Amino acid sequence: MGTSFNEQFDQHGAWRREFALRLKLLSEWMKDHELLDASVEERLRRLEQQMRSDKVMVAFVAEFSRGKSELINAIFFAGYKRRIMPASAGRTTMCPTELGYDADVPPCLRLLPIETRLQPQALMEWRMVPEKWTRIDLDVNDPTQLAQALEKVAEVRHVTKDEAKALGFWHDEVPEDNPMVGADGLVEVPRWRHALINIAHPLLKQGLVILDTPGLNAIGAEPELTVNLIPQAHAVVFILAADTGVTKSDLAIWREHLITEADNNESRLVVLNKIDTMWDTLSTPFQVQAQIDRQRATSAEILGLRREQVIPVSAQKGLVAKVNDDAKLLQASQLPMLEQALGQGVMGQRQKILQAAVGGGISELRVEAGRAIHVRRRDLAEQMLELKGLRGKNTSVIKHMRSRIEQEQGEFDISGARIHAVRSVHLKLLREVFEMLGTGALKAEMAQLTTAMRQPGIKLGVKKAYMQTFERLRAGLRKAQATSAEIQNMLGGTFRQLNAEYGFSLQAPKEPDLERYVRDLDLVERSHTQYLGVGNVLRLAQPEFADRLVRALATRLRVVYESALGEVELWNKSAAAQLDAQLRERRRNFGRRMEAIERIQQAATGLDDRIAEIGSQERALDELDAKLTELTDHLMSTPAGGSANDEAQRKSA
C-alpha cells in the first residue's frame, strides 16, 4: 500500500517545521545584512506564523450508527491498543466533538452545556469564555482513563417537549424528524452542545484537527456547525453503512450540509463502512466483492461522485487488526486504502495550497529585499563614476565637488516636506479603505440583517434579506478595491516623479486583490443559502435561532474582512518601507560621498583607495544578491519532509 494518512501527515508536519526554521534563519541573515525593513519583516512574520499555526481539519460526518467514532479510533487511536472514542451500538457521539492540540492548555476535555443554546451567543463566542465549559483533565498515558473521560460526549438528558423545542430538538411541523418520547413523556437530548478534546497526539500536535459530528437532527440544530465548521474543513469524510447504502436520512445530510460546487467535490470522501457485515460464508469471496462493488457504484452515482471517492471499509476489523498486529485482517478491512486516499487527497491538496501561498510570499519578499540591494548598487555606481571623474583633477575641482554635494544634500532635505505631504494624502484615502473593511461596517450590516430576520411570521423572505446583505457586502469590497486602485495610481505617479527628481528607484507595490475576498463571500453565501432551505424555514420562526444564525455568519465574515484588511495593511507597509529605505540610503550616500572627498583632500592616495573600496563593496553586493536568491530559491523548492542536505544548507546560511 502507498503512504498512509498518518505517514503523509508526519511528512507534512516535518516540512512545515523545516520551512519555519529556514524562514527564521533567512530573517536573521537579512537582519545581519540590513535588508530587513518593516515590510519585509512583516512578510516574514506572516509566513512563519502561517507555517507554525497551519491547521488541517478533517470532518467526519454521518447519520447515527454508521460507525463514525470507530473509524476515528481505527485511523487515529489504534496505537493505544483499545477504543478511545466511545463506539458502542446505538447513538454514541451526541454532540459535535473537536479533537486538536493547543500547547498552552493542559490535556483536557471541555464540554459546553446544552443550555447555552437558549442564549444568542455564537459557538465561537463561547470559546472565549472558558469558565462556562465543564473541564475534565485527561491522562494521555492512561488509555483507560482517557476512554472513560471521553464517554461523556455520549451523555444525554431527558427534558419535556417544550424544553426540547426551545433547544432546537423538537418541531411540531416535522414530526418524523423528532426524537422518541419515553413512557414518562420526556425526550432524550444531548447533555452537551460542543466538546473540545485537547491531547498531545502526534498528529494533533502537528496541526490536525478532527471534527466528529453527530447525526442529522443535531447538525441541523447547530447552525454554526453547518455554515462555518463543515464548509471550512479541508476534507469531509461522509460515512454510510455498506449494507444499506445511501438511505433517505443520509441523502438529506448530503444535500443539506455537504454538497458543494462541482469543482470542490474532490475534498469529499465517502466511506462505505461495515463491509464485514457482507462477508457471508454462504457466498464466495468473488460474490461478496461483486456485491460491495455494486453498492460502491450505486452510492457514487446517487451522490454525484467519482467511484474512486467511495471507499469500502470495515473500521471495526481495521481497528482489531491494528490492535492485534494482524496484517491479513488489516488488508481485508481495506482501511489502508482509505488512509492512502486521505493522505494523497487531503494532505496533497493542503500542501499544494500552502506551497502556492508561501511561494507567492517568498517571491514578493525577494523583490523587496532585492530592491534594497539594487539601491545600494546604484549609489555605489554613481560614487564610482563621480570619483573616477576626479582623477588628475586639481584641488579647486575637488573643493567645487564638495560644495556641489552639500548643495544636493540641502535640496534633498527640503524635499522631505513634499514627501510628507504626499504621504498625508495617501493615508487619508487609506483610512477610507480601512473604514470600509473595518468591524464598524460589518457590525452595521449584521444589525440590519438581524432586524430583517426578526420580522414576525414564517421567514419566507429570509433568502431575500440574505441576498441583499451579501450584495451590499460585495459592493463595499468592490468600492474598497476602487479606492485602492485610486491610491495605487497616485502612488505610481508620485513614485515616478520622485524617481525623476531624486534618482530614486521606487516602484509601487502590487495592489491588493480584494476580488478574491468577494469570491470568499460567494462561498459563505452559498453555505448559508443552502442551510436556509425549506427544512430550516420553520426553525427560523424562532427569533433566538435566527439570532444564532446571524452571529455564526458574523464570525465567519470577520475572518474574511480581517484577512482583506491585513492585505491592505501589508501593501501600505510595503510602499512606506520602500520610501523610508531609499531616503535612508540616500542620506547615507551623501555621508559616504562627503567622507570620500575629505579623504581625497587629505591624502594623494585617498582617491585610488576609495575607488578600490567601492569595487570591493560592489563585489560584496553581488555576493549578497546571489545568497538572497539561493536562500529564497531553497525555501520555494523545499520538498515535503525536508531533505538530507538540510544541516549543510543551514550552516552555509
Number of Cα atoms under 13 Å in the Cβ half of residue 112: 24
Clarify whether residues 438 and 325 are in a common domain. Answer: no
Whether the pTM exceeds 0.85: the reply is no
Give domain status of residue 557, yes or no. Answer: yes
Q: Which of 582, 601, 629 is the last residue of a domain?
A: 582
In the DSSP assignment, the letter for residue 215 is: -
Give how many domains the chain has, as a whole number: 2
Give domain status of residue 302, yes or no. Answer: yes
Q: Which of 317, 333, 349 is the last residue of a domain?
A: 333
User: In a 3-state reduction of DSSP, which class is residue 394?
Assistant: coil
**419: Cβ contacts below 8 Å, ≥ 6 apart:** 498, 579, 583
Whether residue 527 is predicted with pLDDT greater than 60 in this model: the reply is yes
> Strand 156-159 relative to strand 235-241: parallel, antiparallel, unpaired?
unpaired
- The pLDDT confidence band at residue 650, using thresholds 50, 70 and 90, is very low
Give domain status of residue 287, yes or no. Answer: yes
**349: Cβ contacts below 8 Å, ≥ 6 apart:** 234, 235, 266, 267
pLDDT at residue 154, as a whole number: 85
Give the residue carrying C-alpha cell 474532490: 266
CA distance 292 to 348: 28
Say if residues 263 and 294 touch (Cβ distance below 8 Å).
Answer: no
Q: What is the average per-residue pLDDT within 188-215?
A: 85
DSSP H or E segment with residue 235: strand 235-241
Clarify whether residues 276 and 151 are in a common domain. Answer: yes
Say if residues 65 and 94 touch (Cβ distance below 8 Å).
Answer: no
Give domain status of residue 295, yes or no. Answer: yes
Q: What is the average per-residue pLDDT within 398-402?
A: 78
pLDDT tens digits, 365-383:
888 888 888 888 888 888 8
Q: Domain range for residue 227?
A: 55-155+191-333
pLDDT tens digits, 484-515:
998 888 888 888 888 887 777 788 888 888 98
In the DSSP assignment, the letter for residue 192 is: E
Distance, C-alpha 169 to centroid of its chain: 33
406: how many CB neighbours lie within 10 A of its CB?
A: 14
Query: Sign of torsion, CA 323 327 332 336?
Result: positive
H helical segments located in 33-113: 38-53, 68-76
Return the axis-axis angle of helices 38-53 and 5-32, rounded to nearest 10°.
160
**113: Cβ contacts below 8 Å, ≥ 6 apart:** 132, 134, 191, 192, 193
Give domain status of residue 120, yes or no. Answer: yes
Name which residue leads in pLDDT, 414 or 435. Answer: 435
User: In a 3-state reduction of DSSP, which class is residue 275?
Assistant: helix
Q: What is the average per-residue pLDDT within 108-133?
A: 89
Order of strands across the sheet with 97-100? 134-137, 108-113, 192-198, 97-100, 208-212, 56-62, 235-241, 268-273, 310-312
Hey, what amino acid is at 199? I
CA distance 618 to 385: 13
Give the residue carrying C-alpha cell 479510533: 73
Whether residue 463 is predicted with pLDDT greater than 70 in this model: the reply is yes
- The pLDDT confidence band at residue 604, using thresholds 50, 70 and 90, is low
Q: What is the largest CA-CA distance in the chain?
A: 114
- The pLDDT confidence band at residue 220, using thresholds 50, 70 and 90, is low
Most confident of 17-21, 335-339, 507-511: 335-339
Q: Which of 582, 605, 628 is the last residue of a domain?
A: 582
Give domain status of residue 39, yes or no. Answer: no
Helix, strand, coil percentages for the chain (3-state, nearest 5): 70, 10, 25
CA distance 477 to 483: 10
pLDDT at residue 296, as a whole number: 92
Burial category of 558 from C-beta neighbours within 10 Å (exposed 0-12, middle 13-18, buried 19 and up): middle
Closest CA to 30 of 625, 641, 639, 481: 625
pLDDT tens digits, 255-264:
777 765 544 5
- The pLDDT confidence band at residue 640, using thresholds 50, 70 and 90, is very low
pLDDT at residue 95, as a whole number: 83
Write out 105-138 in H/E/C secondary structure. CCCEEEEEEHHHHHCCCCHHHHHCCHHHCEEEEC
Clarify whether residues 445 and 306 are in a common domain. Answer: no
DSSP H or E segment with residue 272: strand 268-273
Say if residues 278 and 243 touch (Cβ distance below 8 Å).
Answer: yes
| Distances in whole angstroms, Cα of residue 446 to Cα of each of 3, 470, 559 | 46, 10, 14
CA distance 469 to 477: 13
Clarify whether residues 317 and 436 are in a common domain. Answer: no
Give domain status of residue 313, yes or no. Answer: yes
Burial category of 350 from C-beta neighbours within 10 Å (exposed 0-12, middle 13-18, buried 19 and up): buried
pLDDT at residue 231, as a whole number: 79
Clarify whether residues 273 and 128 are in a common domain. Answer: yes
Name which residue leads in pLDDT, 455 or 433. Answer: 433
Closest CA to 242 of 280, 197, 192, 193: 280
pLDDT at residue 239, as a whole number: 92
Whether residue 652 is predicted with pLDDT greater than 60 in this model: the reply is no
Torsion of CA 306, 312, 315, 319, to 10 degrees: -110
The mean predicted confidence, pLDDT, of the chain is 81
Lowest mean pLDDT among 45-49, 411-415, 516-520: 411-415
Whether residue 178 is predicted with pLDDT greater than 80 in this model: the reply is no
**443: Cβ contacts below 8 Å, ≥ 6 apart:** 554
Say if residues 522 and 261 touch (Cβ distance below 8 Å).
Answer: no
In the DSSP assignment, the letter for residue 157 is: E
Give domain status of residue 38, yes or no. Answer: no
Clarify whether residues 434 and 302 are in a common domain. Answer: no
Distance, C-alpha 289 to centroid of its chain: 40
Say if residues 110 and 127 touch (Cβ distance below 8 Å).
Answer: no
| Distances in whole angstroms, Cα of residue 464 to Cα of each of 220, 450, 653 | 21, 13, 58
pLDDT at residue 572, as a whole number: 86
pLDDT at residue 112, as a whole number: 95
Clarify whether residues 248 and 116 are in a common domain. Answer: yes
CA distance 23 to 425: 35
CA distance 296 to 275: 11
> Strand 208-212 relative to strand 235-241: parallel, antiparallel, unpaired?
unpaired
CA distance 411 to 414: 5
List the CATH number of the domain containing 213. 3.40.50.300
Cell (9 digits) for 19: 520551512
CA distance 118 to 64: 25
